[in-house]
Homo-oligomer: A and B are copies of this chain.
């Protein structure tokens, strides 16, 4: 039942994010970058987190989360994503507007609140960007990994998520009419710039640049 500061929670979340997208251990500088602080501040915090047994830390060697640290990181990510669903589904915010608010809401410290929110939202499996919502016990479900850019001509797929979460990218998708859950069919790929001609229901055709296609996650169509 010990309680952690907002700052500590944010470090855990960010360490999780950095580890899960590649490296085995996270460097001090990488953390300084994502926390928007200096390396010296990061070192301080890592020592504190190590004292609390939330990370494994060896000088000059980088960090990784302990089991308890990972469990905690995942409950925070769970809260973040559930609040995003609330903001979009219930309050009508756009998926490009909710990140900052969820950054604050994720720190509200009541497990019962989170579980009631979860049922109120209908136990969603994914957040508005298609990211999977961790279980209450702290397990991260598998996420789709195939990119739209990997599709071949004549293949169809279901649009499931985004890799780039920036407001600019999300707004671009809005303007293009690309919505999560929609079925896309690749009719042609330009050999020159790898841009795709795709059709989406109801029979609409659009061009998707490679830069966009490699930031979109797809899966098998529901058919």
Chain A residues in the interface with B (C-beta under 8 A): 87, 90-93, 100-101, 104-105, 107-110, 112-113, 116-117, 120
Contact = CB atoms under 8 A, between A and B. Distances in A.
Given A101-B113, A104-B109, 11 more contacts: A87-B113, A91-B113, A91-B116, A91-B117, A93-B112, A93-B116, A100-B110, A101-B108, A101-B110, A104-B108, A105-B108
Contact of A92 (B93, B101, B108, B116): B116
How many copies of the chain does the oligomer comprise?
A: 2
Contacts of A92: 116
A153 B112 CA distance: 44
A78 B58 CA distance: 48
A111 to B, nearest CB: 11
Which residue, A92, A101, A108, A116, has most C-beta atoms of chain B within 10 A? A108
Which residue, A100, A104, A112, A117, has most C-beta atoms of chain B within 10 A? A104
A136 B100 CA distance: 22
Contact of A120 (B90, B104, B109, B112): B90
A90 B108 CA distance: 17
A104 B79 CA distance: 15
A113 B103 CA distance: 13
A178 B112 CA distance: 26
Contacts of A110: 100-101, 104
Nearest to A109: B104
A174 B15 CA distance: 46
Contacts of A90: 120
A149 to B, nearest CB: 35
Q: 7 tightest CB-CB pairs across the interface, nearest first?
A: A91-B116, A104-B108, A101-B110, A101-B113, A91-B120, A90-B120, A105-B108
